[in-house]
Chain A
Amino acid sequence: MGALLDIRVPADDRCRLTLVADEAFAYLDLKLDDMDDGIDIPLVSAADAFWLIFLVSGEGCRLSFEGHWGANALGMQEYQGFNVGAGHHRLRVSDSRCRLQGVAIAGQAKALIGNDYGKLQPLALPYDRESSAVPPYLPRCPFNQKASALFERMADIPGDGIARLYACRTLALDLLRLYDTQLREDRTTDDRQGIALFHAAIRHIRAHCLDGGLTPQLVADAVHTSERTLRRVFASRGKKVIEYINFTRLMKARELVLLTDKPLKEIAYTLHYSDVQYFIREYRKTFNIHPKHRMDYMPEGFDGEEE
């Protein structure tokens, strides 16, 4: 189990946390900004947000600073006093792909951890030290409940300053591992949803490949998703939606060729091929055999009965 935290604060005042645990990883982009949009959620102080950053940057993790702002924001003075930006700084928190963002003002903060699998996971910081309840805006998922419990335990660790932070290190790494598990679960959920979508799409394609004019957009509409999502689901299997549509159409052609005595021209038109030669070329390319070969061919007058 490897865990890594990489904090980079480039010159543009952005701070990126990269959480790495096993194969899962997450980004947390922090930026000082006078932003007006976003969701203000009473949570913890800005100092506590950085406290968290420091916590998870313990042994086995990497901490690096770039640019002038990082040194100021995350300097030792701030670590020791937990007073980063007290009462003044606004902290913009967003994931690396900017799907969601929040605002952390002094006394108010929301930390969101995004990841590469399309989910953005709110970190359940202990917004109310007196209560162990999960904040109402957070999903009541096991992750948030466990994360809350971890933060509670951190808060209960006696001591102050660096000594207390080091004492919290193990718990912080537990949080990383917890998050790693959550990432995996999120990814598995995504996979299952993608699989369900894929099978729904191919069923629709099989049922409607004779309709003519079937496009990826129509398939996406039929399975209630976006064309982009559908393309992504197919691409994850090394396929293109349009290729699958064409292949299914040819499979239907094969069925008609082998099990009926319809002329090839008629089959080509049934499947909306405007040119029978083009149909034959595509058929041969796919099945490596000319469509004139028909399965139902029997010796003339031969029905298996003794003559």
Chain B
Amino acid sequence: METTVTHHPFRDITLAYDRGKPQGERELATLAQYVELHDRVWKLKVMRQGYEPRLAEAALRIDGLRDSLHPIERRVEVMELGLGLRAADGPPPFEGKLTMKLNDFYDDSDRFNDGIHGLYGLIKQVTEEHNRFLDEYNAFDGWFEAFNDGPLYEIFQDWETVSVDTVSLDRDHQAFLEAWGPVWQAEDDYFARAAAAFAAYDDLIRVSDALFLRVKRVQAALDGIIDPSGEEG
């Protein structure tokens, strides 16, 4: 038996051969596909690792924007009450005169709008990357199943005639599966984090849309009592 090691960025492939047996085309093709299996897993791993920082950044920015909505929501609520646009659920939150710096409110709202618009480009990129990865993942899934149940299965059945020592191939294949396990788990984690980020983005858009409508109502009411020069009417 002659042992050969094929160096691969994912993991080294170690196989033994009985050089006394000729290698048929089918065996050669299967072994080439076995290397391709490593190529594909490696490609998925590199792709995902490249996409993960942007996904993490998007998730962080979504959370930040969601948090920044809270003070705006509180101000809108106070203004709605003050302008009589809604009735207090319980006792009035305050009595007497309320002074609110509208500029702060507008600044917060502007910052939020800028954030949402800035986020859109990132979400678009993250979505495209996610879709690309998903396509690649699904393509690999189908390919792997066909390879596993086809050529790889057959080479193990042909152990008497093939040149490659199926004991070494099986051992290497098991080692591959072991190496693949954490990568596969990381892919699952990536999909879960992407799903969570997209859900958070949806929630952010839904909440901010609803708030925008309320802001428009408040603005309309304020337009009635505030003249364009900013002086109280």
* Residue A294 lies at the interface, judged by CB distance under 8 Å to chain B: yes
Interfacial chain B residues near A195, Cβ < 8 Å: 156, 159, 166-167, 170
Residue of B with least CB distance to A287: B188
Contact of B195 among A192, A287, A295 (CB under 8 A): A295
Residue of B with least CB distance to A306: B124
A192, B152: Cβ atoms closer than 8 Å: no
* Closest Cβ–Cβ distance, residue A216 to chain B (whole Å): 19
* Closest Cβ–Cβ distance, residue B140 to chain A (whole Å): 13
* Closest Cβ–Cβ distance, residue B60 to chain A (whole Å): 17
* Closest Cβ–Cβ distance, residue B156 to chain A (whole Å): 4
* Residue A62 lies at the interface, judged by CB distance under 8 Å to chain B: no
* Closest Cβ–Cβ distance, residue A117 to chain B (whole Å): 13
Given contacts A293-B191, A293-B192, A304-B124, is CB(A298)–CB(B152) below 8 Å?
Answer: no
> Interface extent on B, as a size class?
20 to 34
Contact with B along A197-210 (1 / 0, CB 8 A): 01110010011000
* Residue A275 lies at the interface, judged by CB distance under 8 Å to chain B: no
Residue of A with least CB distance to B199: A297
Number of A residues contacting the other chain (C-beta, 8 Å)?
Answer: 31
Contact of A200 among B153, B185, B202, B205 (CB under 8 A): B153
* Residue B3 lies at the interface, judged by CB distance under 8 Å to chain A: no
Say which one of B36-44, B46-54, B126-134, B212-220 lies at the interface with A. B126-134
B191, A295: Cβ atoms closer than 8 Å: yes
Interfacial chain B residues near A237, Cβ < 8 Å: 174
Interfacial chain A residues near B192, Cβ < 8 Å: 289, 293
Within 8 A of A (CB), among B108-150: 120, 123-124, 127-128, 131, 134, 138, 141, 145, 148-149
Within 8 A of A (CB), among B84-122: 120
Interfacial chain A residues near B160, Cβ < 8 Å: 192
B198, A297: Cβ atoms closer than 8 Å: yes
Within 8 A of A (CB), among B173-214: 174, 185, 188, 191-192, 194-196, 198-199, 201-202, 205
* Residue A188 lies at the interface, judged by CB distance under 8 Å to chain B: yes
Residue of B with least CB distance to A303: B127
Residue of A with least CB distance to B154: A199
Cα A151 to Cα B123 with chains together (Å): 81
Listed from nearest, the 9 A-B pairs whose CB atoms lie closest are A192-B159, A297-B195, A199-B156, A195-B170, A295-B191, A299-B198, A196-B156, A293-B192, A191-B167
A-B contact pairs, 25 of them (CB 8 A): A191-B167, A192-B160, A193-B159, A195-B156, A195-B166, A196-B159, A196-B166, A198-B170, A199-B152, A199-B156, A199-B170, A203-B148, A203-B153, A288-B185, A293-B192, A293-B196, A295-B134, A295-B191, A297-B199, A298-B198, A299-B123, A299-B127, A299-B201, A304-B131, A307-B120
